[in-house]
Structure 1
């Protein structure tokens, strides 16, 4: 209708029965929208027999229930108005574009909810690729997806009302190119951060060693990684450089190695030395702090001034302080065994040899030699 008289004339022609039916349709969809949603998700869950899948379906229903309820209400409004109004009115008020815009907005709302950091979809992705709680990938994906959803939703709604989205797409392309050229290093660091997060060579709290730094990882962002050194200094390394470097993660050790040779006196008694070796090995195998997998205690070396007992074992703990404590306790126990067996440790000493010179009487030559601990 183009004028007020035509509008009033059309109102007079409306049947109150038709108005009642139209509002009844709207009320029916509004009242039973919650039941419709529950029924729809119940039918979807019925096809899945596993309990875990059913629980996941309940989570999806809790997340998407409100957008789906409003979708049913919108359908009821569409059907009621189409029943009530003549086709000319529908065209005049733009009922079809309005309905499609509402559907697009509700779909965008649902996708916006699904792209939340704590959503079912992203939590499932995190479990599938085995990301830990310290990972920054899920928050980053959540922000990017939400921005994309908002832009696409606005663009599609605009297209429904005659606005061209070609300029928006072209502008986004040019803008992306300009950003890529201006922030090349930043994008390199972001890509490096994604590589670090996906490959997971380390996580927050790990003790790592790189060619440029050693310490405990304090924070991981998409631009850089912060490492707290043992001198309590904070080093910030760009992810692009860090991703290209060899990284040793000491925290990933399942156990920590101890490997040394114990030097004892050269004149040690053979039987006592054999007993000491057996007792040291028994001490290691009986201690709870020592991993029983690989324990080697052997008399292996004859040195110039000492005998060598090779000792090789692993501590269960990889924590630096606990490792040192276990090693200290073992060293004290080794000393006790040597003391009880009467075996002395090798130590630096001077020996003086007196020898009569050939063809002389009473003249002596003095030769000095040094004996060192192995």
Structure 2
């Protein structure tokens, strides 16, 4: 009997750990497969969701283009829509994994608050971007000058406004600084005044010069002929009589008209023998008899 009891106890000692190992193995197989499928499903959902969100974002953008929505609004809203869609997909995946979505939202909110306090300047830029879209001091495609920077507005994003300069440079300006400083917008009005200042000799006849210059203005097709045109004396300088030439051109034609009008006025003055003087000095030489002999040295 004693021997039989020893054998039974030995079998119990061996069988108990085996049962525990079998239980753990079955648990891992069952739960591991469930977790694995949930993880794979979540990854697939995330990939497909991101792909669909990109398609939806592009669809919204294209619909805005078809409906001729202001490019300023499109460039501002599309990134926000993209972020919102992706956050919604992430929250859905978290819920599929069985995690506490409300806790995750609270954690994201806390992180967002901390980041917001650290990036107060960025928040002011974001608010300024919204104000720019509401009050529209400029829009995409306008030529503006602000804080010593000038160029054509390429895009208005959440935090910054991007300008393309005539030199091919790209300038990025924070929306906060841009909105809180004076802005000169040359594209708001259809017409823009073109100013040309030029000097003629004191020996030349002003009336003749005025007629010659006015003829050159009247022949220039980029000048708005039904708008005011002026050729008058601006000032009496040391070496020349400076004339003020004023006319109106369309804003998009400003620089083309600027170059052409300067060239045409120079050709017209040369053709009519009206000189554009350069600075010179007059030297007076006194001899021993204290008589004066004027001598002009041009320099």
> Fold match, TM over 0.5?
yes
Q: How big is the shift at 1:239? A: 2.8
The DSSP-based 3-state class of the residue aligned with 1:208 is strand
Paired position in structure 1 for 2:3: none
Q: Could you state the TM-score of these two structures normalised by the residue count of structure 2?
A: 0.58
Q: How big is the shift at 1:291? A: 1.8
Task: Confirm or deny that 1:136 pairs with 2:75.
Answer: yes
Q: Give the 5 Å matches for 1:37-116.
A: 116=56
Paired position in structure 1 for 2:223: 290
Q: 8 Å contact 2:71–2:140 — kept in the other structure? A: no
Q: How big is the shift at 1:139? A: 0.8
Structure-1 separation of matches of 2:236 and 2:95: 85
Q: Give the 5 Å matches for 1:240-255.
A: 240-252=176-188, 254-255=190-191
- CA root-mean-square deviation: 4.9
Paired position in structure 1 for 2:24: none
Q: How big is the shift at 1:122? A: 10
Structure-1 separation of matches of 2:73 and 2:100: 42
Structure-1 separation of matches of 2:248 and 2:297: 32
Match of 1:280 among 207, 213, 221: 213
Structure-2 separation of matches of 1:165 and 1:224: 33
The DSSP-based 3-state class of the residue aligned with 2:228 is strand
Higher RCO (Cα < 8 Å, 6 or more apart): 2
Task: Confirm or deny that 1:365 pairs with 2:291.
Answer: yes
CA-to-partner distance for each residue in 1:240-271, whole Å, 9 max, x for gaps?
333323233344463443334433232335xx
Structure-2 separation of matches of 1:300 and 1:215: 30
Task: Confirm or deny that 1:210 pairs with 2:210.
Answer: no
Where structure 1 has 5 or more consecutive residues not aligned to the other structure, the ranges are: 1-111, 158-162, 357-361
Change (3 A) 1:281 1:349: same
Q: How big is the shift at 1:295? A: 0.4
Q: Give the 5 Å matches for 1:1-374.
A: 116-117=56-57, 131-132=70-71, 135-143=74-82, 145-146=84-85, 170-171=106-107, 173-204=109-140, 206-211=142-147, 213-229=149-165, 232-252=168-188, 254-269=190-205, 273-292=206-225, 293-299=227-233, 306-316=240-250, 318=252, 321-336=255-270, 338-339=272-273, 343-349=274-280, 351=282, 363-366=289-292
Change (3 A) 1:297 1:156: same
Q: How big is the shift at 1:150? A: 5.6
> In the comparison of the two structures, how many residue pairs are matched?
247
Q: Could you state the TM-score of these two structures normalised by the residue count of structure 1?
A: 0.48
Q: 8 Å contact 2:144–2:184 — kept in the other structure? A: yes
The DSSP-based 3-state class of the residue aligned with 1:314 is strand
The DSSP-based 3-state class of the residue aligned with 1:312 is strand
Q: 8 Å contact 1:116–1:142 — kept in the other structure? A: no
Change (3 A) 1:366 1:246: same
